Structure formats: structure tokens, C-alpha cells
Structure 1
Amino acid sequence: MGIDLKKGSKVNLMKDNVRLDKVMLGIGWDIIPGNSLDLDISVFMVGENGKLPADEYFIFYNNLKSPDNSVEHTGDNRDGEGDGDDEMILAYLSQINPSIKELIFVASIHNAEVLNHHFGMLDNAYIRIVDVDKKNEFLRFNLNKSTFGNATDMEFGRLIKSGRDWTFKATGDGTRIGLQGYVDQYV
């Protein structure tokens, strides 16, 4: 197990691992018994202006791969069943379009407003980063469900590029804007 992050923490992924290239961002959660919901993970690949350079840089269940083939969503888990990561994003850091400066990782609950679903129905939610080549987890950010109980969407974290380095920032910002609200922010 790697570094356990707190909200607002930052870790330079390249500091002790200059050859790091292929990472897996795993996001997991458990649904509190008696509830059911569909959590969707999305990635917004934004440039210096904080916007997507093209719609195809919005990675989600209907667009699983970035146009530069550097980021891939491995598929939608509709129920959170099973142990471990429920949804995964693979990223090849060296292949990311040079105009991309941040990868923003968002989780949203499908039809949250209609179904009256919220993050308080989840337990053990986390995001972690794994060095795929070395097969080891080197950081994890666990979300505190009491802090985000009635949020319907969450920015889990950001990968931020500075020169050749990539830094992960654990944000954990809960909202009620829906996935469309995030799309409106970054388009």
C-alpha cells in the first residue's frame, strides 16, 4: 500500500519514479445495504484554459478512449458489486497530448435527482493510483461519506502536468450539479 492522502494533499508521481508511464486509476465503492445506484466515472482532459480542446477529450461510458489513445475508461460498472476497483481508467502519461495540462476525475450518480440518490448511500469510496508496470499501488484517497452525504457528484482528484512531472491532487469536492454541470464547466 502506498501513500494515504487527505483532502487537498498533492503528490508528485514522478519524484521517486521518473520512468513512470502507465498508471491505472481505480475507483471503488460499496453500496450501503438496502440501496442501489449507478455511479459513473468520467475524465475531463483540459488544456491551460481549463477547457477541453475537443469534445473527444471527455472520457466517459459513451466515449471510452481519448483521441490520442492515452486515456482509456475500461467500462461502466452499474452496481458497484464485488471487491476492489469498480471502475478503472488507464493512462499512458507519455502519450497524453502536450496541450493537455490536467486530467479531472469526476464521479456522478446516474439519474440522482430523479431517483433521489446521493453519496450518503455509499460506503468505502476511494480513488487510487497504481503503477501498472510495477503492479503496486502508490497512493490512495479515501472519501469520508459523512462529509459528502447528500452530494450527487464528486470531483475525486486531478492529475496536473508541470513540465515533465505529473502531480495528483486529492480534491474530494462534492456537488449537486450533475454530470451535465461538469460538462458545461469544461466545454
Structure 2
Amino acid sequence: MSISLQKGQRISLSKEAPGLTQLMCGLGWDVAEQSGGGFFSALCGGQDFDLDASVLCLDSNQKLTNVKDVVYFGNLKHQSGAIIHQGDNLTGEGEGDDEVIIVNLSRIPPRISKLVFVVNIYQCLQRKQDFGQVQNAFVRLVNGSNNKELARYDLSGRNYAEMTGMTLAEIYRHKNEWKMAALGNGFRVNGLEEILRKYS
């Protein structure tokens, strides 16, 4: 049975799914309904929302030391082969997961101690878009061996107006097991590069 996570809650992936090696991290969202276009449509630039999910691989000092340790739409596969981004969804249209990232925990190099899952709105300032205009946003973890959902964190209904970037969750090593923390910390940035500076 899936765990519905609260902000700041931590779970042990090893305990929830003993023998877990492969994870699917899914991100989904919808754009808030625009009633008849008009002011709201003009405010958003009349364009689709393009949310970009990325994974930052941090060392034991919680630092990003190599740009190749960022998996995103411009680098879909980590050099270790442990993390694979399934590709960029430019609109958020469709049911279920809009972007998917596959993580093979057994192949993550020992030098990497934490995976940080972040999302940002592409060209947010140019398009005048923020997370206050997004609804039904979620991040979920699925056991890759049996497709059972382990945990879900719903982001909707929270005050993310004016926020254009977000730290969704962390998966980290703790002693001999992997754990997950739900974060949902929003901030205002103009692209992934500004997020990376927070960890450099």
C-alpha cells in the first residue's frame, strides 16, 4: 500500500520494499483551468507550462562537484547508467506521470550519497508563469520490479504562488539503507542553473 507523504516526512525504502533495487520516480501536473482566456491567459503569456524534472547527485558533503552528476532534459542518462530520464514533457498534457526518471539504486556509485529531485518551470520569467498556476502536481516513487507505488507526495493546495522552482524530494544513503524525504520547498529561480548554484 502506498504511503501518502507529508512535507518533511521520511521513510525507509529498504523497509517498505525489501530488496528494492530499481525505482521509478514520476512527476505529474496540470495547468489550472483558464476560464475563457482573457486576463489570465494574457498573464501566463498564452503558452503551455513546461515543467522540467531533474536529479542532482550529491557527494557526502551535500555538494554537486561535477556537472555530469545532473540528470535532466539535456543529459538524460547518468554516466554510471544508474539514473535515466525518460524525456521532456513540454505541456503536462495527458493522465498520470508527465516525466519519468528511472533509478537503479544498486548501480549508484559509492561517492554519491544523496539524490535530490528538483523541478523548475522552463522560461518562467519570459512566460510569466509560476507554481501558483499549476494544479494536481505530485511526485511518486514506484517499485520498478512490480510497478507498485511505494510513496506519493501531492504538491497541490500549497502556497507556491510566485515560486518557479522546487525541491521535491531526496533519496539518500543512511548506514546500509536508502531513505526518502518529502520536501516540497519552493523558491524563485530563472532556470536550472540557479538551482545548481545552491549545491555548488
Q: So what's the TM-score if we normalise by structure 2?
A: 0.89
Partner of 1:159: 171
Q: CA–CA distance in 2 between the matches of 1:16 and 1:39?
A: 29
Quick check: 1:180 aligned with 2:190?
no
Letter in 2 for 1:75: G
CA distance, structure 1, for counterparts of residue 17 and residue 150 of structure 2: 10
In structure 1, what residue type is equivalent to 2:32?
I
Relative to structure 1, the CA distance from residue 159 to residue 171 in structure 2 (aligned partners, 3 Å threshold; closer, same or farther) is same
1:32 and 2:44 matched: no
Matches of 1:159 and 1:87, distance apart in 2: 18
Match for residue 3 of structure 1?
3
User: Could you tell me which residue of structure 2 aligns to residue 123 of structure 1?
Assistant: 135
Superposition deviation, residue 162 in structure 1: 1.2
2:55 matched to 1:43?
Answer: yes
* Map 1:15-26 → 2, pairs under 5 A: 15-26=15-26
Residue 147 of structure 1: how far off its partner (Å): 1.5
Distance 1:39 1:183, change over 3 A: same
In 2, Cα distance between equivalents of 1:146 and 1:173: 10
Distance 1:154 1:81 in 2: 20
Which residue identity is paired with 1:86?
A: D
Task: Check the 8 A contact 2:71/2:77 in 1, yes or no.
Answer: yes
The range that moved more, 69-78 or 16-25, is 16-25
Structure 2 CA distance, aligned partners of 1:120 and 1:165? 36
80, 84, 91: which one pairs with 2:92? 80
Q: Gapped runs of 5+ residues in structure 1?
A: none
Judge conservation of contact 2:138–2:156 (CA < 8 Å) in 1: no
Q: Describe how 1:84-123 pairs up with structure 2 within 5 A.
A: 84-123=96-135
Determine if contact 2:16/2:150 at 8 Å carries over to the other structure. no
- Tell me, in whole angstroms, the C-alpha distance in 2 between the residues paired with 1:29 and 1:83: 9
Which residue in the other structure is 1:171 paired with? 183
RMSD: 1.3
Give the CA deviation at 1:16: 3.8
Structure 2: unaligned runs, 5 residues or longer: 35-40, 42-47
Cα separation, 1, equivalents of 2:142 and 2:18: 15
Shift of 1:149: 2.0
Q: Which consecutive segments of 4 or more residues in structure 1 shift more than 6 A? A: none
Number of matched residues? Answer: 187
Farther-moved stretch of structure 1 (43-52 vs 84-93): 43-52
Following superposition, the deviation at residue 144 of structure 1 comes to: 3.0
Larger Rg: 2
Q: Which amino acid aligns with 1:172?
A: G
The alignment status of 1:52 with 2:64, answered yes or no, reads yes
